Amino acid sequence: KAARPKVPASRWVKRMAVAALVGIVLLVVGGLGVGWWAFNQIEKVEVADVLSPPSPNGMNILVVGTDSREGIESDAENADAFLGGGFSDAGPSRTDTMMILRIADGGQTLLSIPRDLWVRNPVTGENGRINAVYQSGRPALIQAVQGLGIPVHHYMEINFVSFAGLVDAVGGIEIDFPHPARDTNSGLDVPEAGTRTLDGVEALAYVRSRYYTELIDGEWVSDPTADLGRVTRQRAFVSALLRKVAGTKNPFTALSLAQTLGDSAGLKLDDAMSYPEALGLGWQLRSFDPASETLPVVGVNRGGASTLDLGPGADAVIAQFQ
**Predicted local confidence at residue 65, as pLDDT:** 80
Rounded alpha-carbon distances, angstroms, from residue 301 to 128, 204, 306? 12, 28, 5
The pLDDT value given to residue 252: 52
Geometric angle at alpha carbon 246, from 317 and 94, rounded to 5° = 55
CA distances from 139 to 92, 121, 243, 302 (A): 16, 11, 29, 26
Separation between Cα atoms, residue 129 and residue 114, nearest integer Å: 9
Residue-range domain boundaries for the chain = 11-319
DSSP assignment of 100-146, as one string? EEEEETTEEEEEE--TTBEEE-TTT--EEEGGGGGGG-HHHHHHHHH
CB atoms closer than 10 angstroms to residue 287:
11
Query: Residue 307: helix, strand or coil by DSSP?
Result: strand
Cα 132 to Cα 64, 116, 318: the distances in Å are 13, 9, 22
Q: Give the C-alpha distances (Å, rounded to integers) separating 280 from 5, 95, 97, 106.
A: 39, 28, 26, 16
- Say what the pTM is: 0.71
User: Is the CB of residue 188 less than 8 Å from the CB of residue 181?
Assistant: yes
What pLDDT shows up at residue 280? Answer: 74
Predicted pLDDT of residue 162? 67
Query: What percentage of the chain's residues is helix, strand, coil (to nearest 5)?
Result: 35, 25, 40
Q: How high is the pLDDT of residue 300?
A: 95
Largest CA distance in the chain: 56
Quote the CA–CA distance of 43 and 283 in Å, as a whole number: 22
CB 278 within 8 A of CB 27: yes
**DSSP-assigned letter for residue 15:** H
Question: CA angle at residue 109 from 107 to 115, to 5 degrees?
Answer: 165
Those residues whose C-beta lies under 8 Å from the C-beta of residue 149, and which sit 6 or more positions away, are: 315, 318, 319, 322
**For residue 15, what pLDDT is reported?**
38
Chunked mean pLDDT (size 10), the chain, 322 residues: 40 36 48 59 89 93 75 46 43 72 85 92 95 94 97 87 71 92 91 93 87 94 82 79 66 48 61 82 68 90 93 96 94
CATH of region 11-319, choose from 3.40.630.190, 3.40.190.10, 3.30.470.20, 3.30.360.10: 3.40.630.190
